[in-house]
Amino acid sequence: MNVITIPKPHKVASVLKKHIPFSEEEDDDDTSTVAIKTENGTQTKFGKGKGKCISNGIIQKYIKQIVPTQKPKKRKVKLMDWKKYHRLNVIYEFIDELERDYPAICTVSVIGKSVEGRDIKMLKISNSDASNSAVWLDASIHPREWITTAVVTYIADMIVKNFQNLSNSITNKDWHIVPVLNPDGYEYTHTHDRMWRKNRACYNGEFGVDLNRNFSYGWGNNGNEGSSEEPNNIFYRGPAPFSEPESTAVRDTILGSTTPFKVFLSFHSYFELIIFPWGFKKEPCKDYLRLLEAGTAMARAIQETSGMTYRVGSTKDLTYYACGTSIDWSYAIAKIPYSYMIELRGRKHRFKLPKDQITGNCVEIWNAINSLMNYIDNH
Residues with a catalytic annotation lie at 343
106 φ, ψ (degrees, to nearest 5): -115, 135
| Residue 346 to residue 302: CA distance in whole angstroms | 14
305, amino acid identity: T
| Residue 98 to residue 218: CA distance in whole angstroms | 37
DSSP 269: E
The string over 70-104, giving b where at least 16 C-beta atoms fall within 10 Å of a residue's C-beta and e elsewhere, is eeeeeeebbebebeebbbbbbbbbbbeebbeeeee
Query: Which H or E element spans position 102?
Result: none
| Residue 279 to residue 283: CA distance in whole angstroms | 9
User: 379 has which bridge partners?
Assistant: none
Q: Cis link prior to 329 (omega < 30° from 0)?
A: no
Q: How far from 368 is each of 134, 244, 294, 345, CA to CA, in Å?
A: 17, 31, 10, 14
User: 207 has which bridge partners?
Assistant: 202
Alpha carbon 270 to its chain centroid, in Å, reads 14
269, amino acid identity: S
| Residue 350 to residue 87: CA distance in whole angstroms | 20
| Residue 371 to residue 353: CA distance in whole angstroms | 25
Q: Which of left, alpha, beta for 280 (phi over 0: left; psi -120 to 50: alpha)?
A: alpha
Query: Which H or E element spans position 68?
Result: none
CB 210 within 8 A of CB 198: yes
Size of the chain, expressed as the number of residues it contains:
379
| Residue 122 to residue 111: CA distance in whole angstroms | 7
CB 311 within 8 A of CB 274: yes
